[in-house]
């Protein structure tokens, strides 16, 4: 998420926290640790991620313990880094109220059904068709010849390319499922990113795609997504992928070009799947996977290896019998008397 350039000292003043390090360090963006670059501000409030944050490209880091800042960086000391990170997000991009305007506005060359609601600042290119009861948030863009079926909801700042098909019941740009648990309950990290959908993408009925927290959730050109798929915040899906029904992809994953995910594949956060990999149905992917291979099972592994392991299970009784000691005069080894 880009912001107007501020110094670390100015950010400290906004939050009312103390500063360690160079007060003149410029801040031009706010991002989570997995997306930070030079000039970004990030946060850490978990000891095991402290070193990763300090060694990251981030220029300014919200921390909850006093440590020596590395050269060229600034640390902002606060008892609640998560909460103050949220405060900064809201400061630089205030949450838009749901003040949609009913579409008495017409867009040239666009067919719009009944009971359609479109937010301020949204633009729809010619050749599009918008079905009945569609809600489109503010500041969205929809490219040429895109077809949106009835009862679709599209959140603020969503970008949709040309020749896209979005079937009924989809929710594009919902809030990220990202919480910090504490004794009083769970605190949500605010979602200020976007969903960006490329050209010639198809999205099946009742699929949900969460917007990024500080960056974009991205769907590449020509990717086809089936019904009832969940795609988490800040996940990147490349070009020409195929994702079958009931696949669940958590946040901050990278699915490279040409990947095929069969039905009910589950992928936790932070996983990368290499280009042209195929993951067969009902597989659970718990580690990153190389491209160009076929995977199956829980934990997902190369399909030939997984099938060999499954086949070997059927041979286990015979193998175990072969390992039993031979009987003597009708007595098993365990029944034979032994001198004391």
Which of the residues 102, 132, 222, 233 is marked catalytic? Answer: 233
- Reply yes or no on whether 333 is catalytic: no
Sheet (strand 60-63) strand order: 2-7, 26-30, 40-43, 60-63, 74-77, 18-21
Q: Which residues contact 128 (CB under 8 A, 6 or more apart)?
A: 107, 109, 110, 111, 142, 143, 144, 145, 146, 147, 148
Q: Can the peptide bond before residue 299 be classed as cis, meaning omega within 30 degrees of 0? A: yes
Question: Using only C-alpha atoms, what is the Rg of the chain?
Answer: 26
Nearest-10 Cα torsion for 1, 254, 167, 110: 40
Helix (H, G, I), strand (E, B) or coil at 76: strand
CB distance 59 to 26 below 8 Å: yes
**How far is the C-alpha of 259 from the C-alpha of 146, rounded, in Å?**
24
Catalytic residue list: 233
């Amino acid at each position: 998420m880009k912001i107007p350039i501020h110094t670390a000292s100015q950010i400290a003043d906004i939050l009312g926290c103390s500063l360690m390090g160079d007060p003149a360090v410029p801040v031009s963006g706010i991002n989570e640790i997995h997306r930070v670059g030079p000039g970004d501000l990030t946060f850490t409030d978990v000891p095991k991620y402290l070193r990763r944050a300090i060694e990251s490209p981030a220029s300014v880091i919200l921390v909850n313990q006093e440590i020596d800042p590395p050269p060229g960086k600034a640390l902002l000391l606060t008892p609640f880094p998560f909460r103050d990170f949220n405060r900064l997000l809201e400061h630089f991009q205030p949450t838009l109220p749901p003040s949609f305007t009913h579409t008495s506005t017409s867009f040239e060359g666009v067919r719009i059904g009944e009971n359609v609601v479109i937010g301020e600042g949204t633009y729809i290119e010619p050749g599009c068709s918008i079905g009945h009861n569609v809600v489109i948030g503010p500041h969205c863009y929809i490219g040429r010849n895109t077809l949106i079926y009835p009862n679709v909801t599209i959140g603020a700042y969503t970008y949709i390319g040309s020749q896209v098909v979005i079937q009924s019941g989809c929710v594009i740009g919902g809030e990220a499922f990202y919480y910090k648990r504490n004794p009083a309950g769970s605190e949500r990290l605010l979602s200020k990113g976007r969903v960006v959908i490329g050209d010639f993408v198809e999205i099946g009925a009742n699929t949900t795609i969460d917007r990024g927290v500080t960056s974009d959730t991205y769907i590449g050109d020509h990717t086809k997504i089936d019904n009832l798929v969940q795609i988490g915040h800040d996940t990147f899906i490349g070009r020409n992928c195929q994702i079958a029904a009931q696949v669940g992809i958590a946040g901050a994953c990278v699915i490279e070009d040409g990947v095929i995910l069969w039905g009910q594949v589950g992928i936790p956060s932070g996983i990368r799947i290499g280009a042209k990999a195929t993951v067969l149905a009902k597989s659970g992917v718990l580690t990153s996977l190389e491209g160009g291979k076929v995977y199956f099972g829980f934990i997902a592994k190369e399909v030939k290896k997984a099938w060999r392991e499954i086949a070997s299970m059927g041979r286990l009784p015979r193998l175990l019998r072969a390992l039993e000691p031979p009987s003597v005069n009708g007595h098993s080894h365990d029944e034979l008397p032994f001198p004391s």
